[in-house]
Amino acid sequence: MTKNNSIELDAWLQKLGNEKPKDVLGGLERVRSVAKRMGVLPPAKRNIVVGGTNGKGSTTFFLEKLLLTSGKKVGATLSPHINRFNERIRVDGVEADDRSIINAFEIVEKAQEGTPLNYFEFAILAALEIFRQNEVEYCVLEVGLGGRLDAVNIIDADISVITSIGLDHQNYLGDTRESIGFEKAGILRHGVPLVYGERDMPLSVKKKAESLCVPVYQYESAYFQAETSPFWTLKTRISERTIERPQLSIPLIAKENAATAIQVADLLLQDVSNEAIEEAACVNFPGRAEVIEVKGRRWILDVAHNPDGAKFLNKQLSDRYRINATMCLFACFQDKDSAGIVLAMESLIGRLVITSSHGDRGQTARITAQKIRESRQVSRKLEGSIVIQEDFYSAVEYIGNKTQSTDTVLVFGSFSLIGRMREFLRRQQ
């Protein structure tokens, strides 16, 4: 039965087609009309919408865990998935099963009444249906792309979250932090608190927040101070308390993202316990500095697919492991700044094996290498370290032949590459 469900779900996903960034930005009235016919608005008593360039996935994951450890019934969405579509929809920390997703797809299709929906919109509506059926109390929804025109923005949030703003998806969101900030700020609602997860806020976000009379809780400003100390000061508009700074787990969670999730939880619950924070700090988030050991060799996997994400990964790994001159495997999509990503990781690269990414946004290893070499900032050392292996399995075989069983291999770039590598390593264990 499970196998049949899996086959049926695969057929549904083939029918929906591939997710493309341009398809995510389709306008909201169509999606909202279907959601109203389904009766899924709002999906829960309290709803949190999480946007941002980097960190929104780990923030969503951490917040979900905080609410669960506080005894709440929680629905959460994540995007994109790494290995299975089911990863996108979670109830009480458990991925939705194939049958539940199929049933939700059928309900969405019935409610369409001829309304066109893209892949991401269909997925979000299915998630909302599953949350409705499970009567979740809290709903944590990760924005797919941007914010203003993203399907998640049909939800009027009780708290809006923007984790960070950097350059990514410039073809769709603009090529400056200000233009991207404008799109991200589209999730704000009049009078609804915004938790902002970094020190530098673009003017476009500030203006939007001011125009909507939005209370702002900003990292290292309105909340969570004294980051270098063993304690954090947690502030709301009516209270202040000190908590012991949690020891974050591996995979590495940025302190900014952890702080953001804790601030949101404290606003929702008024008094999130230190015990809940400590338990949530043991979160295990796949594909974020994920460490997998196979036959003595340590693989570190991360979906760093833009320069800011790569800079963060470099710092975290350097601080944690003191590694350098490492064998690396990299692939990225054609709409990504491949040179910028690699340059941000340069200090950790001993040899860079580039392989191809696949799909409509895929890019051959040769083209990726060409873009990197054409960058004016590429050093002679980095240029000379590049090895092209178009086929994934050829790349893995090359790495196996050129490294010792006790070496560390760093794999970074596209979600699809990390998904393939996780599946490959799982079979080797």
On whether both 244 and 311 belong to a single domain, the answer is no
Instruction: Indicate left, alpha or beta for 226 from its phi (over 0: left) and psi (-120 to 50: alpha).
Output: left
Do 421 and 329 touch, CB atoms closer than 8 A? Answer: yes
On whether both 259 and 408 belong to a single domain, the answer is no
On whether both 268 and 411 belong to a single domain, the answer is no
The residue range of the domain holding 368 is 290-428
Residue whose structure tokens are 């094996």 = 353
285 inside domain? no
Which of 280, 314, 343 is a domain's end point? 280
The reply to whether omega before 42 is within 30° of 0 (cis) is yes
Q: Quick one: DSSP state of residue 248?
A: P
Q: Count of CB atoms within 10 A of residue 51's CB?
A: 30
Residue (of 193, 181, 164) closest to 47 by Cα position: 193
On whether both 322 and 381 belong to a single domain, the answer is yes
On whether both 261 and 337 belong to a single domain, the answer is no
User: What are 56-109's pLDDT values in tens digits?
Assistant: 988 999 999 999 999 999 999 998 899 999 999 999 999 999 999 999 999 999
What confidence tier does 288 reach under pLDDT thresholds 50, 70, 90? confident
User: What are 132-179's pLDDT values in tens digits?
Assistant: 999 999 999 999 888 888 999 999 999 999 998 976 655 556 668 899
Which of 280, 315, 335 is a domain's end point? 280
What CATH number should be reported for the domain holding residue 122? 3.40.1190.10
**Residue 353 pLDDT > 90:** yes
User: What are 361-382's pLDDT values in tens digits?
Assistant: 889 999 999 999 988 787 777 8
User: 158-194: buried (b, 16+ CB within 10 Å) or exposed (e) per residue?
Assistant: bbbbbbbbbbbbeebbbeebeebbbbbbbbbbeebbb
Residue (of 230, 258, 228) closest to 242 by Cα position: 230
Averaged pLDDT, 170-197: 86
- Per-chain mean pLDDT for the chain: 87
Transcribe 368-386 into DSSP letters.
HHHHHHH-TT--HHHHHHE
Q: Provide the H-helix boundaries in 281-402.
A: 307-321, 338-344, 365-374, 380-385, 392-402
- The total number of structural domains in the chain stands at 2
Question: Percentage of residues in the chain with pLDDT exceeding 70?
Answer: 86
On whether both 40 and 70 belong to a single domain, the answer is yes
75 inside domain? yes
Taking the model in full, what pTM does it have? Answer: 0.87
On whether both 371 and 325 belong to a single domain, the answer is yes
Instruction: Indicate left, alpha or beta for 301 from its phi (over 0: left) and psi (-120 to 50: alpha).
Output: beta
CA distance linking residue 384 with residue 210, whole number of Å: 50
Widest CA span in the chain: 60
What CATH number should be reported for the domain holding residue 358? 3.90.190.20
Q: Quick one: DSSP state of residue 219?
A: B
CA distance linking residue 259 with residue 245, whole number of Å: 9
